Amino acid sequence: MKGKGYTPIDREWMTRALLLAEQAGAADEVPVGAVLVKDGVAIGVAQTGISGDIIYNSISPRIGHDGTGGDFNGTIDDVIIFNRSLSAEEIAGLYANQTSGYLQINYTSLSDGAHTFKAYTQDMAGNVNSTGTRSVATDTTSPQISITYPPNNTNTSDTGINVNYTRGSDVVNCWYSNDTYSTNTSLNCGTNIT
């Protein structure tokens, strides 16, 4: 990558990302532009008019090769290929540094439904640890529940009162609280209280 806007510094950890843009609507996903990103910042101007396979002077691209017959003198930590371009924030998330100690990403405009995520961490010795897969459900429609018995504003000292209710199909969890909210009872959704 020499001559492309920077010279690597020995014994320094760096991130590099190559983003290829595809021609809109092309059935064969023809690349039409490329941007090289250094430590989260685009360097150089995107090339346009690229077409066909990603080959230069009859040589397929290689990782760890300088293009002149010499091999890369260093260590490559991670090679990841995605089927879409990542944002600068997503690239930073993959390679969060130890200065901040954490990475926070807020995903907005998620569609309704179930979404999964997983977090990874790696120490200086290269040991990797991860969480289990976590799930979160987004729903922009409020859950619908209706108490059918007893009628609204019923006062009773009966400790064995039956409570009947109906719920919409979008209700995942149900709880019942007495009027003081000192006792919460978890319910199986769709099962009436006795």
Per-residue pLDDT, 114: 86
Note whether 180 and 99 are same-domain residues: no
Model pLDDT for residues 62-87, shown as the tens digit of each residue? 666 656 666 666 676 777 777 777 77
Model pLDDT for residues 118-177, shown as the tens digit of each residue? 887 777 787 888 899 999 888 888 778 888 888 888 887 877 777 788 887 767 777 766
In a domain, residue 85? The reply is yes
In a domain, residue 44? The reply is yes
In a domain, residue 2? The reply is no
User: Which residue from 104, 132, 105 is spatially nearest to 119, judged by alpha carbons?
Assistant: 132
Domain range for 150 is 145-187
Model pLDDT for residues 20-44, shown as the tens digit of each residue? 555 555 444 444 455 555 655 655 5
Note whether 93 and 169 are same-domain residues: no
Note whether 34 and 100 are same-domain residues: yes
Note whether 67 and 126 are same-domain residues: yes
d(CA 131, CA 119): 6
CB atoms within 10 A of CB 114: 9
Per-residue pLDDT, 133: 92
User: What pTM did the predictor assign?
Assistant: 0.36
In a domain, residue 1? The reply is no
In a domain, residue 10? The reply is no
Residue 9 pLDDT > 80, yes or no? no
Per-residue pLDDT, 119: 83
Note whether 83 and 109 are same-domain residues: yes
In a domain, residue 194? The reply is no
Per-residue pLDDT, 30: 42
The pair of structure tokens assigned to 135 is: 């799930």
d(CA 160, CA 193): 10
Residue 3 pLDDT > 50, yes or no? no
Domain count, the chain: 2
Note whether 168 and 120 are same-domain residues: no
In a domain, residue 5? The reply is no
Per-residue pLDDT, 134: 92
In a domain, residue 6? The reply is no
Note whether 79 and 126 are same-domain residues: yes
What average pLDDT does the segment 91-107 reach?
A: 66
Note whether 54 and 119 are same-domain residues: yes
Residue 194 pLDDT > 70, yes or no? no
